[in-house]
Amino acid sequence: MKEYNDDGVYGFRFQTLDGRPCALKDFEGKVLLIVNVASKCGLTPQYADLQLLYDKYKPRGLEILGFPSNNFGAQEPGTHEEIYQFCTQNYGVTFPMFEKISVSGEDAHPLYKYLAEHTYAPVKWNFQKFLVDKTGKAVQSFEPTMTVEDSRIIEAIEALL
């Protein structure tokens, strides 16, 4: 039984790392890049590239949404406050960061079940990226090791903007 409706990502609500409620419906009309992140991963330096991408494309309608997860190698053990401090102090992250959730396995959050089902891409590791169009529909997934500097990601984002 699926745990989400057919409104794409817009039916989901979360708390930000600083405790504010946020409905993904608030991002309606934007292109979204949803990324499961971790502070103690070999891929963690991708935060810097994600922030550069956000700075460049936010004025054109891109939002990057970070979802900390401890699913892979227990590489996100911190509290919400510790994660927030780490991201802002080490990488200057200003894109929205949300509460820590499970992104894989039986206890995966329904958002990630939706993303995996609609892109035919199960979450393989930290920093997997899901591209969502302006209507809230998941359209593509990118491997964790593929950085956002990759032309395939840039072209896909630009095509949706």
**Catalytic option among 16, 40, 41, 122:** 41
- Beta-carbon contacts of 61 under 8 Å, excluding residues fewer than 6 positions away, are 29, 30, 31, 134, 161
Count of beta carbons in the 10 Å neighbourhood of residue 77 = 12
41 a catalytic residue: yes
How far is the CA of 122 from the CAs of 55, 108, 158, in angstroms?
Answer: 28, 11, 24
Beta strands 129-132 and 31-37, pairing class: antiparallel
Which uninterrupted H or E stretch holds 131? strand 129-132
- The upper half-sphere exposure of residue 132, i.e. CA atoms within 13 Å in the direction of its Cβ, equals 28
Residues involved in catalysis? 41
